[in-house]
Chain A
Amino acid sequence: MSPLRADLEIVANWVEEGQRVLDLGCGDGLLLRHLFEQRRATGYGLEIDPEGISQSIANGINVIESDLDKGLADFEDDAFDQVIMTQTLQAVQRPDQLLSEMMRVGRTGIVTFPNFAHYRLRWHIAVRGRMPMSAALSYAWYETPNIHFCTIRDFEALCEALGIHIIERRVLSHDLKRPLIGGFMPNLFGEIALYRICRA
């Protein structure tokens, strides 16, 4: 099978052999398929988009049609080793409640999101006076499913408020590479933020 996108590759490397995984907003299911095949992981993907559900099924994973805005009531406390949410946090109604739910059903979590404080996006607003659009944020403001943008600092403040411990943070540039200026000023130069989290 084709290699994973660079950000998903990092996520996949955070999952250990044989872990039980829940993927919130699993999209086409490629990440889970990779985890099932390469890491002997088990578990489920949750998705609301009909096309994503069909693609996930075609990719051979277990996918459950679900609305993340309704929480994770289908799952018991500590049901999973890892709860993964890639590029979905910004599209849910209450990211704070979903993060708490993640930490209820999983021992650890992985969250990735577009960093709204990236310098290109700041430039869009500060200089052009327009809502930002970029490779990671390709929708116009009126049609975007991304309703809750946050920055690296916002996310870390929320984790602290929710009693969530950050195990590890990585940032990637827009082309999904390590930012040119390394780990320097991630809130300015990181376009995609990736976190490993657990209950504090």
Chain B
Amino acid sequence: MAATLPTDSVGRVSPQSVRFDEPLLLECGRELPGYTLAYETYGVLNADATNAILVCHALSGNHHAAGYDSEDARKPGWWEACIGPGKPLDTNRFFVVCSNNLGGCHGSTGPTSEDPATGQAYGADFPLVTVGDWVRTQARLADHLGIERWAAVAGGSLGGMQALQWAIDLPERIGHAIVIAAAPRLSAQNIAFNEVARQAIRSDPDFHEGRYALTGDRPRTGLMLARMLGHITYLSEAAMGEKFGRERRDERGAFGFHYGVEFEVESYLRHQGESFVDRFDANTYLLMTKALDYFDPAAATGGDLSKALARTTAPFFVASFTSDWRFPPAASHEIVRALLDINKRVSYAEIEADHGHDAFLMPVPRYQEVFSAYMNRVAEEVGA
């Protein structure tokens, strides 16, 4: 952690956790006897509990969305660009809550947690969870925190899908849905990328059918490959070109005629992959990608997204980024179109940005400006 923190950061934060002992029946048909959710909060809940915002994380995220969670933390939380004093999710006005999704590996119950039935880590036996399951666990967290209704539920990517599901499943508990760089469902190409990632993990000899915790091994190579692949799809070609071009580590310019790291982009990807393996569990990665693949709220209404959205009452703010080819503007536009068709309140911004899908994590000025404009409106509505 830097000696002096930026004034627009929430600063030093600490995780909390809550245990729920009522059983949870999951969409897959299995039941969890109980579970723990890890979460962080920023800002102060007002007396009427009307200023709370739920932030939902993406595939590899967790509850640490903003600020610095240890004295020696070098990096802030994943949505530092948008959470903090004066930022779109302004912690001077809002009480921001972010929980680690059920099935995660950073404190919420997941594959690395102990299965009470066996006394060992769940590992591959942890049930597959869905976006709908997450909404129900987050609703219990809201109950625990005394929040009857979120002023808004917000997220990017898989987090945006959760905001969408919230608006559909619990319309009376969500004031606004903030859906950023998301999609109403994954495309075949997206599922294909997820499948390659899963196969990379599952074919690693150290995967042991997901029971690697018992062996002391971890499928490091497989998880690293999955992350490297994912990372390529989160950036745009232009962003990668700008960042790395064809730069090589050996500045003298001679090819090495070997398979070690030569190009900077190789070095970057390996570093991303390796550091990811140290902080993420392979079984969690598998189940998160599966939750993404399964997400399709329109499936319940014969593929008609407007019908699926008919019950929603929350106004939507939808945003996409021009260079995002993983969740392209056309996917966000599909959500907008479905809302327009049924006369729902929605605003949409297609933000020019070169960063690809990762743009939703970046301090892109126009993004922050339009997001702030929307959240100001939310704050005024709830008297925050």
Residues of A with Cβ closer than 8 Å to B?
A: 20, 42, 44, 50, 53-58, 60-65, 74-76
Residues in B neighbouring A58, C-beta threshold 8 A = 373, 376-377
With CB as the reference atom, state the residue of chain B lying closest to A66: B348
B231 in contact (CB, < 8 A)? no
- SS class of chain A's interface: helix, strand, loop or mixed? mixed
B345 in contact (CB, < 8 A)? yes
Residues of B with Cβ closer than 8 Å to A?
A: 315, 317, 336-337, 340-341, 343, 345-352, 366, 369-370, 373-374, 376-377
With CB as the reference atom, state the residue of chain A lying closest to B365: A50
With CB as the reference atom, state the residue of chain A lying closest to B341: A76
- Take A50-B366, A57-B347 as given contacts and tell me if A64 and B340 are in contact as well, using a CB distance cutoff of 8 Å: yes
26 contacts between A and B (CB under 8 A): A44-B346, A50-B351, A50-B366, A50-B370, A53-B349, A54-B370, A54-B373, A56-B347, A57-B347, A57-B370, A57-B374, A57-B377, A58-B373, A58-B376, A58-B377, A60-B377, A62-B315, A62-B347, A63-B348, A64-B336, A64-B346, A64-B347, A64-B348, A65-B350, A74-B337, A76-B341
The distance in angstroms between the C-alpha atoms of A42 and B342, with both chains bound, is: 12
The distance in angstroms between the C-alpha atoms of A35 and B270, with both chains bound, is: 56
Residues in B neighbouring A61, C-beta threshold 8 A = 347
Residues in B neighbouring A42, C-beta threshold 8 A = 343
Asked if A65 and B373 make an inter-chain contact with CB atoms under 8 angstroms apart, the answer reads: no
The distance in angstroms between the C-alpha atoms of A50 and B349, with both chains bound, is: 8
B64 to chain A, nearest CB (A): 29
Q: Which 5 A-B pairs have the closest CB atoms?
A: A57-B373, A54-B373, A58-B373, A64-B348, A54-B370
Residues in A neighbouring B366, C-beta threshold 8 A = 50
With CB as the reference atom, state the residue of chain B lying closest to A63: B347
Residues in A neighbouring B351, C-beta threshold 8 A = 50
Asked if A62 and B370 make an inter-chain contact with CB atoms under 8 angstroms apart, the answer reads: no
Residues in A neighbouring B349, C-beta threshold 8 A = 50, 53, 65
Determine which of B341, B352, B369 lies in contact with A54 in the assembled complex, contact meaning CB atoms within 8 Å. Answer: B369
The distance in angstroms between the C-alpha atoms of A65 and B315, with both chains bound, is: 16
Determine which of B315, B340, B370, B373 lies in contact with A74 in the assembled complex, contact meaning CB atoms within 8 Å. Answer: B340
